[in-house]
A and B are shown apart, each in its own frame.
Chain A
Amino acid sequence: NAGVMQNPRHLVRRRGQEARLRCSPMKGHSHVYWYRQLPEEGLKFMVYLQKENIIDESGMPKERFSAEFPKEGPSILRIQQVVRGDSAAYFCASSGWDRSTDTQYFGPGTRLTVL
């Protein structure tokens, strides 16, 4: 859905650099999910956040990866010291107040390439 904004759309990093991915949810949405998609594969859940809270980060690697959703501003997925295996499409999705039934609207994704 065009309402969820992600930037940048494409990001190229060299091994060891940091990647910072941004996601602005749809207006009025307070739930943000991050997913990773490798080429030719499905979407893997990484983390679920509400404003200023990480609700479930069970799908996110313990090291090098972090996520936040501050009171003001977009949600950020941060990958430190990137490696080639981090190359993937990263999608965020947002939903309304009822997380159990509300539709997730996906952003266009950020395609990360690690050289």
Chain B
Amino acid sequence: GQQVMQIPQYQHVQEGEDFTTYCNSSTTLSNIQWYKQRPGGHPVFLIQLVKSGEVKKQKRLTFQFGEAKKNSSLHITATQTTDVGTYFCAGMTSGTYKYIFGTGTRLKVLA
């Protein structure tokens, strides 16, 4: 079945350093979404990417969808303590109606 893997599983950074998480799907995706979940909280939608090679920016966050639509990345520039949480990608395969969530990357930011 479809699998979505994320690396790294954990990342500790000093405040001000950059951070990147990578998402890889075993199948071609029709679109991909990114979510952030704070400890004890629920997933909060960040962005959706649909087009091959698409790049979107939200302030310090940059999201990219691979040309083959099988991988994606989230890059945070100059991390802040408020960026702490687990970042999940979620991919949908054409012809299905469900999103398969990645394994998540847990980010800790040291002040």
Contacts and interface: CB of A to CB of B under 8 A. Distances in A.
Interface residues on B, range: 20 to 34
A104 B101 contact: no
Given A42-B88, A43-B88, A55-B97, A106 B44 contact: yes
B85 interface: no
A62 to B, nearest CB: 16
Contacts of A45: 98-101
Interface of A: 1, 33, 35, 41-45, 48, 55-56, 58-59, 91, 93, 99-101, 103-109
Given A56-B96, A99-B97, A108-B42, A42 B104 contact: yes
B97 A42 contact: no
A48 B100 CA distance: 12
Given A42-B104, A100-B30, A104-B33, A56 B97 contact: yes
A106 B43 contact: yes
Interface in B58-101: 88, 90, 92, 96-101
B31 A35 contact: no
14 contacts: A33-B99, A41-B103, A42-B88, A45-B101, A56-B96, A56-B97, A58-B98, A100-B92, A103-B33, A104-B99, A105-B45, A106-B42, A106-B43, A109-B42
Contacts of B96: 56
Contacts of A91: 42-43
Given A103-B48, A104-B33, A43 B97 contact: no
B42 A48 contact: no
Nearest to B43: A106
A101 B31 contact: yes
